[in-house]
Amino acid sequence: MTPHNEANRGDIKKTVLMPGDPLRAKYIAENFLTDVKQFNAVRNMLGFSGKYKGKELSVMGSGMGIPSIGIYAHELYEKYDVENIIRVGSCGAYNKDLKLFDLVIAMGASSDSNFAHQFNLPGTISAICDFDLLRKAVISAEKLDMNVKVGNVFSSDVFYNNNEDEWKRWEDMGILAVEMESYGLYLTAQKLGKKALTILTVSDSFHMKEQTTPKEREKSFNDMILVALESCLI
């Protein structure tokens, strides 16, 4: 056990789906998995293990932001022998062609975070996903006839940004969308020799006024969840 996770070794499977919202983790467990057992409730960061079409896997919340996912991902990789973490989260679209509920797969993550300073590198490291997980997710999306955009996302440390037009500069660099976790997840996986991927659903857009409700973000991102789950079967 760790200060943040009451699971015993063996309770958590090799692959973990990780939404930010622990209630979305509960929703995934209750609606997509069988033989479900809860392994964590510390700080209400709910975690469950079960089976999807016979495949053993786990699902657990990460909380919001790079510091939070950095804690949980590190402990899952290092203390519980997890090999693969697939983040399933929401994002705000920078790309004008992305609409609400569209899917984005993060091939790489840029950031304004100082998370990488701990590695004391003599330059700037690129935070990238695992190609095998990426390949399987794209194959799954194609089989499910779902359109996805694959590219770079921006992991921001700031939700309420005082510089309201700053996002346009990231859009100019081809960044597809903004979220708050992938940069920390990818660098943690790279450091520990593990695998990570982020699959996102567009919950709002910087080009439109429409946005999804909290209830929709909790329970209506089924396309993203199915892509992640089906990719685990390949």
Options 21, 130, 204, 223, the catalytic residue = 204
Q: For residue 89, say whether it is annotated as part of any ligand binding site.
A: yes
What distances in angstroms separate CA 151 from CA 118, 206, 212, one per listed residue? 26, 18, 22
- Rounded to the nearest 5°, which phi and psi values hold at 60? -155, 145
Q: For residue 88, say whether it is annotated as part of any ligand binding site.
A: yes
The residue assigned the tokens 């973490």 is: 85
10 Å CB burial of residue 6 (0-12, 13-18, 19+) is: middle
Q: For residue 180, say whether it is annotated as part of any ligand binding site.
A: yes
The first and second tokens of residue 17, run together, are 């789906």
Residue 165, classed as helix, strand or coil, is coil
What distances in angstroms separate CA 149 from CA 18, 27, 97, 202, 209, one per listed residue? 20, 25, 10, 11, 21
Among the residues of 80-221, which ranges form H helices? 131-143, 167-172, 182-192, 214-219
Q: For residue 203, say whether it is annotated as part of any ligand binding site.
A: yes
Q: For residue 87, say whether it is annotated as part of any ligand binding site.
A: yes
Q: Which amino acid is at 141?
A: A
Q: For residue 20, say whether it is annotated as part of any ligand binding site.
A: yes
Residue 223 is among the residues annotated as catalytic for this protein: no
Q: For residue 181, say whether it is annotated as part of any ligand binding site.
A: yes
Cα–Cα nearest to 198, from 206, 208, 207, 188: 188
Binding residues for a purine D-ribonucleoside: 4, 179-181, 203-204
Binding residues for phosphate: 20, 24, 43, 87-90
Active site amino acids: 204
Binding residues: 4, 20, 24, 43, 87-90, 179-181, 203-204
